[in-house]
Amino acid sequence: MRKYPVISEKELYGELKRYFGFSKFKANQLEVVQALLGGSDAFVSMPTGGGKSLCYQLTGLLLEGLTVVVSPLIALMQDQVSAAQELGLAAAFLNSSMNEKEIRGVYRRLHAGEIKLLYISPERFSSDQFRLRLKEFDPVLCVIDEAHCISEWGHDFRPDYLALSLIRSEFPGCLIAAFTATATRTVQQDIQTKLKMKNPFVVRASFDRPELFYRVSPKQSVLDQILAFVQDRPGKAGIIYRSKRADVEATSDFLRTHGVNALPYHAGLPDKTRLTHQERFVRDEADVIVATIAFGMGIDKSNVRFVVHGDLPKSLEAYYQETGRAGRDGLLSHCLLLYSPGDIRTQRYFIDQIEDEEEAARGRRNLDTMLRYAQASECRRTLLLGHFDEEHTGGCGRCDVCTDEASTEDLSVDAQKLLSAIARTGERFGGGHIIDIVKGGDTEKIRERGHDTLPTFGVGKGKPKKHWQQVLNDLLNRGALQQNGGRYPTLSMTESGRDILFGREAFQVVRRAQQAILIKKSSKEEYDLELFERLREKRLELSREKGIAPYMVFSDASLEEMAREIPRDRPAFLQISGVGRKKMKQYGTLFLELIDGYAREKGFTESRPDVR
Residue 445 has pLDDT above 70, yes or no: yes
Question: What backbone phi and psi angles, to 5 degrees, belong to 45?
Answer: -110, 110
Please name each of the domains of the chain with its CATH number. 9-204 (3.40.50.300), 212-400 (3.40.50.300), 407-513 (1.10.10.10), 523-602 (1.10.150.80)
**Interval 286-298: pLDDT, tens:** 999 999 875 555 5
**Interval 392-402: pLDDT, tens:** 888 899 998 88
Q: Across residues 303-320, what is the average pLDDT?
A: 93
Which stretches of 9-128 are assigned E, i.e. beta strand?
A: 42-45, 67-70, 91-93, 117-120
**Interval 118-154: pLDDT, tens:** 999 888 999 999 999 999 999 999 999 888 888 877 6
- Please give the pLDDT value at position 332: 92
The answer to whether 382 and 394 have CB atoms below 8 angstroms apart is yes
The answer to whether 149 and 194 have CB atoms below 8 angstroms apart is no
The answer to whether 323 and 211 have CB atoms below 8 angstroms apart is no
**Interval 98-122: pLDDT, tens:** 899 999 999 999 999 999 999 998 8
**Confidence label for 485 from pLDDT (cuts 50, 70 and 90):** low
Residue 477 has pLDDT above 90, yes or no: no
- Please give the pLDDT value at position 515: 43
Instruction: Write down the H helix ranges in 195-244.
Output: 222-231
Q: Across residues 64-80, what is the average pLDDT?
A: 85
- Please give the pLDDT value at position 399: 92
Q: Which of 523, 530, 586 is nearest to 559 (CA)?
A: 530
Residue 522 has pLDDT above 50, yes or no: no
Q: Across residues 28-39, what is the average pLDDT?
A: 95
Choice between 325 and 296, residue whose per-residue pLDDT is larger: 325
